[in-house]
Structure 1
Amino acid sequence: MPALLLAGPPAEPLTLAEAKAYLRVDHEAEDALIAALLTSARATVEALTRRVLIDQSWRIVRDAWPASGLIPAPVNPLRDLLAVKLIDAAGGETALPLSAFTLDVARLPGLIRVDRAAVPAPGRALAGIVLNITAGHGSSADHVPSPLVEAVRVVLAHFYEHRDVPGPGAAFPARLDALIAPFRVTRL
């Protein structure tokens, strides 16, 4: 069940000014580098925790409705279901009513319950179901748990300090694991 990113976050968990202050950089010569490292640091924390920090739009593609009627969200925390479409054999799309779906956003991973009696089977065998969702902690960094923001700082500093050092000497600091461990989403 692949998940495809439709729209990334509108901002990073840290501003460029906050990142530069944390790194103790007071010049503008490396602004582009720091901005790129900040994006990489956020993406790394997201990969390590299996959750996105700031709201993003994602597409879940399925071949068939699950027998259980439950679709675990591959991207968490699940916030909203935006649209569900069936794809027919010719590639045409049919929108399904959102009332046929119930979200459990309190659970990690989030669950999408499908009312199987209210939805038809997809019109093609492969990738016949498309669900567009929003996942994340909120629309801004204010909604991201502070340990995860600190984890982004730790990864950013690590990337900045070790940008020229490949291999085992560039392992993440041990405190990173302590920051992210309570926030890891387990796979079902």
Structure 2
Amino acid sequence: MLTPVRIAAPATTPVSLDEAKAHLRVDHDDQDGLIAAHIEAATAWVDGFTGIVGRALVTQTWRQDFAGFAPRLCLPLVPASAIVSVSYFDVINDPQTLDAGTCALLSDARGAYVVLQPGHSWPATWRRDDAVSVIFTAGYGDPADVPQPLRQAIQLLVQRLFDGADASIDAANDRVVDTLIAPYRRRAL
């Protein structure tokens, strides 16, 4: 399994500029650019495949490549909400796309995965690392749908970036952020 690739970023961040400014108690527009950059940085630290929780927050589209078909094609992000397409390189290395009704998106305690619908079989593929590609959407939906503890953690990270370094406050802030995100971290089973 290759590293997943985000092919469509979320339309917005989980925390808006207005929400961050309210949290920071900033009532002017002089530092909007700086605060927006902090929101982007904090969101990147939490969101997506490389984020600390290993989840997609606001709806986004990803591609996961596999060396071939398997009984389960495990997806690297939760919550996965839909399969956009499943494509593959056939035995003569020509690109093909499966019919939409051929497979299903399921999830369990280990995460989301793609399986074959009853009565279907996986086609043969060319031997290559990216023989099969699953494009899927993941995320909770709109920013308001993102669990509040994750949104609060992002706001605390924005506050830490905005306020600058203070060792005693940073340590307490880190503990609070870790506590907020702990229930949402993906764990290997």
TM-score by length of 1: 0.86
Q: Give 4+ residue runs of structure 1 displaced > 3 Å after superposition.
A: 88-92, 105-108, 114-117, 169-172
Alignment of 1:11-30 (within 5 A): 11-30=12-31
Matched with 1:97 is 99
User: Quick check: 1:70 aligned with 2:94?
Assistant: no
Deviation at 1:82, TM superposition (A): 0.5
Cα deviation, 1:74-100, whole Å, max 9, x if unaligned, reads 011111100011135886421111222
Matched with 2:65 is 61
Matched with 1:4 is 5
Compute the RMSD of aligned alpha carbons.
2.6
Distance 1:40 1:10 in 2: 16
- Please tell me whether the aligned partners of residues 69 and 122 of structure 2 are also in contact (alpha carbons under 8 angstroms): no
Matched with 1:135 is 138
- Percent identity between matched residues is 29
Pick from 137, 154, 157 the counterpart of residue 156 of structure 2.
154
Distance 1:79 1:108 in 2: 15
Cα deviation, 1:43-85, whole Å, max 9, x if unaligned, reads 212211111111100000111112xx01221011111100011
Distance 1:32 1:92, change over 3 A: farther
Distance 2:68 2:159 in 1: 44
Give the gaps of 5 or more residues in structure 1. Answer: none
Pick from 112, 121, 124 the counterpart of residue 124 of structure 2.
121
**3-state SS in 2 of match to 1:48:** coil
Say how many residue pairs are matched: 183
TM-score by length of 2: 0.85
Give the gaps of 5 or more residues in structure 2. Answer: none
Deviation at 1:105, TM superposition (A): 3.9
- Please tell me whether the aligned partners of residues 54 and 185 of structure 2 are also in contact (alpha carbons under 8 angstroms): yes
Distance 1:77 1:50 in 2: 10
- Please tell me whether the aligned partners of residues 90 and 123 of structure 2 are also in contact (alpha carbons under 8 angstroms): no
Matched with 1:52 is 56
1:32 counterpart letter in structure 2: G
